[in-house]
Structure 1
């Protein structure tokens, strides 16, 4: 646990008592603060009481006005589409609002750091797609190279739940837009921006607000090195804003598809090969086509981002290349579950929006595509130009019929449930084809999370007969 500093003897509100909220309350108490906890649900309050915290109703002014700060969980809106009443009132009363990421950065530097030979460092990864894989890959590479590295944030453990890093330790954080939007302190040593595509539009009041939330990690944080994906206009803009010119190697531009050899420092992947350039000179080239845990161009972009971040931390090309080949990938992200009679079954349940689903559709040939769920704005319109590899679509969930209309003449079948979709795809698949779960939709119509959806698909596939 990282004890929260700066609130000794003060009352600090904690709104939302899920994983991050309870970890925040513990860390505040460990640092000498007095956590004042509240959750709108009786279940959440009961969990806090079981840990010895006494909930107080933060909806009351006579409670709010006694607080030095209110710490909110990332899932609770603070501005759009409408702020939670507690947060709205706190801001009206002038009570600061923060989150666990802000507390992490303000509390990370311990007095013992003065005795370390190498100060601990923080890598923070944000973006729309690929940030979980990139975060896990960076951590894997560092650990394979013998570095003391831990993964936290939006993946792995809560940021305040980890042990303080020791001499030379590295904390690798995945940060969502919900987390970067509100944190009052953001000071990573290396910050990574993977890409940008529409998501969480209601929470950020549109694309501009969404990008602004991501940009805060760089504008507020002032990282020593910024790794920026430049395959979208926003990334090109961000790289230009952060650099003093094309040869400024504090910014490492990355791409999947573009050749970037004219900058001070760049890493890019084209046609399955990763290249690193500095000052116009190629320093490394790696064949990614045989890396089983990173299939497809979207994963090659993740590899480029992880490569750049690890090079910024001082690792050599050979160490990074070796670690790429031993990376197993993450569950629910282009995860190869099984092969039966020449048919591969791939779980990409994390493809909760159309852009991430498109990346999966581009990664595999001859696809029997399981899609659907709780569709987002636009449905699957954004995939219509990337259906060349799709043999047939099997549509499930709330948006099955909407998706069917949008997919038009593509061979398709409305299956409603995952059980029926897996059974039908298995019955019709031929050797050399891929049965791909890439829903292009949220899971909440039928499942509590994309993980539960992916686990259900995996269980069904593992139960299929060989013949």
Structure 2
């Protein structure tokens, strides 16, 4: 394919020679001779690095400085970088995994765990599978070419299990129809939908917006199966939006359900004590993975073995300590907070302590909603609440702004929820460990602000 043809396919403008492209789509750091680099922005230093590596071209939305005037490497300028990344994904699938069976997973909560579990079940059954979600990192945005590069290196596996962000944006601009665009690029035989809930405030303003974005994954199916959460009314509505797709449900009252164990029809697949975790969200994600694997025609024995041997992703209702019982969860939006607190109350040992990290640099709206969900969940629970900004450990992009702090704490006060505010995460964790008895339960909640908690706890305990 020539660069001029590539520019047309990504709705871009070619600046430079119309050379032949024979490499891969990749990042600047991973580029080799002949590759095409995709970056949201690039400056003259980036162009020089690309030139030294011998890349064929750079696709970018924002050339900075003298980048567009150097002419050392052909540039393709685009208005929407996501169009380029969607083409790169489609091209990589067709050229490096053309015979693969493809599944996409999306939704507000649980898509990483569901994606990871489906992949684990497939691999445990002896099948080869690639996923863009793993225990170390989650390349799930698809707004850069990491996944395209990984697929080119994957060795043409039997299955591609691709996590798709339900809502995506950059520099405050929503990448409208992101799930539809990326799902269309993958051309899956199956779309798994976990739920529809509020998150990404500023990119979406209502549940109707979230529904539109998430349902794009179902609309993108040319044929095949939509695996839908029967316990989410908005997800149930997706059964009727694509006449080319067959809807299969999981959850209450369906073939794949939880009733003191994971059932498939009349058969008990996995008993409660065999589940790696018993949190509400984890059970929903397990049901989604089981339903998806049944749809892929895996045997019940293969699915059972996969679920039993599964090890969860980090910060998914993870137990960090036993005495006191310290549970860490990436509860970053209202639904996640409610579900995690409910699950903690069900497994409660002794008194409940909650340490919650405010979401930094995400705006007032999401923090108002999160604080409301926390207040609702803790009312009458008799819990001790500590709120932190984690100012000692977060970077600039996750710093809690004063208006965010006021918004979060104001909701707690309006709801009569008593709390202690501690600025730093280290002091917050030290305070709760000093106060909690060995028989108590400590729940750690929050997104990036709580990410370092596991490491900090080890340091505290090592120094005690």
For 2:357 and 2:156, the matched residues in 1 are separated by 47
Structure 2 equivalent of residue 355 of structure 1: 335
Of the three residues 149, 157, 173, the one matched with 1:161 is: 149
Structure 2 equivalent of residue 90 of structure 1: none
Instruction: Quote how far apart the aligned CAs of 1:160 are.
Output: 0.8
Instruction: Quote how far apart the aligned CAs of 1:170 are.
Output: 0.7
Task: Map 1:132-211 to 2 at 5 A.
Answer: 132-152=112-132, 155-156=138-139, 158-164=146-152, 169-177=158-166, 178=168, 179-183=178-182, 185-211=185-211
Q: How well do the aligned residues superpose, as a CA RMSD in angstroms?
A: 3.8
Of the three residues 444, 453, 459, the one matched with 2:455 is: 459
Structure 2 equivalent of residue 406 of structure 1: 411
Instruction: Quote how far apart the aligned CAs of 1:168 are.
Output: 6.2
For 2:30 and 2:225, the matched residues in 1 are separated by 29
For 2:292 and 2:228, the matched residues in 1 are separated by 10
Q: Deviations over 1:261-287 (max 9, x none)?
A: xxxxx32224x422223xxxx3x3234
Report the secondary structure of 2:272's partner residue.
coil
State how many pairs are aligned.
Answer: 395
Structure 1 equivalent of residue 294 of structure 2: 311
Structure 2 equivalent of residue 383 of structure 1: 374
Task: Map 1:81-120 to 2 at 5 A.
Answer: 86-87=79-80, 98-110=83-95, 119-120=99-100
Of the three residues 423, 435, 442, the one matched with 2:430 is: 423
For 1:321 and 1:465, the matched residues in 2 are separated by 37
Report the secondary structure of 1:303's partner residue.
helix
What is the TM-score with the length of structure 1 in the denominator? Answer: 0.72
Tell me if the contact between 1:273 and 1:289 (Cα under 8 Å) persists in the aligned partners. yes
Taking structure 1 as reference, are residues 40 and 210 closer, same or farther at Cα in structure 2, changes over 3 Å only?
Answer: farther
Of the three residues 19, 23, 26, the one matched with 2:26 is: 23
Which range moved further: 214-223 or 119-128? Answer: 214-223
Report the secondary structure of 1:394's partner residue.
strand
For 1:356 and 1:131, the matched residues in 2 are separated by 12
For 1:339 and 1:357, the matched residues in 2 are separated by 22
Taking structure 1 as reference, are residues 403 and 329 closer, same or farther at Cα in structure 2, changes over 3 Å only?
Answer: same
Taking structure 1 as reference, are residues 458 and 106 closer, same or farther at Cα in structure 2, changes over 3 Å only?
Answer: same
Taking structure 1 as reference, are residues 163 and 56 closer, same or farther at Cα in structure 2, changes over 3 Å only?
Answer: closer
Instruction: Quote how far apart the aligned CAs of 1:463 are.
Output: 2.5
Q: Which has the higher helix share?
A: 2
Instruction: Quote how far apart the aligned CAs of 1:28 are.
Output: 10
Taking structure 1 as reference, are residues 464 and 205 closer, same or farther at Cα in structure 2, changes over 3 Å only?
Answer: closer
Tell me if the contact between 1:362 and 1:389 (Cα under 8 Å) persists in the aligned partners. no
For 1:325 and 1:189, the matched residues in 2 are separated by 26
2:443 maps to 1:436: yes
Instruction: Quote how far apart the aligned CAs of 1:331 are.
Output: 0.9
Tell me if the contact between 1:105 and 1:185 (Cα under 8 Å) persists in the aligned partners. yes
Tell me if the contact between 1:395 and 1:412 (Cα under 8 Å) persists in the aligned partners. yes
Of the three residues 241, 253, 257, the one matched with 1:268 is: 257
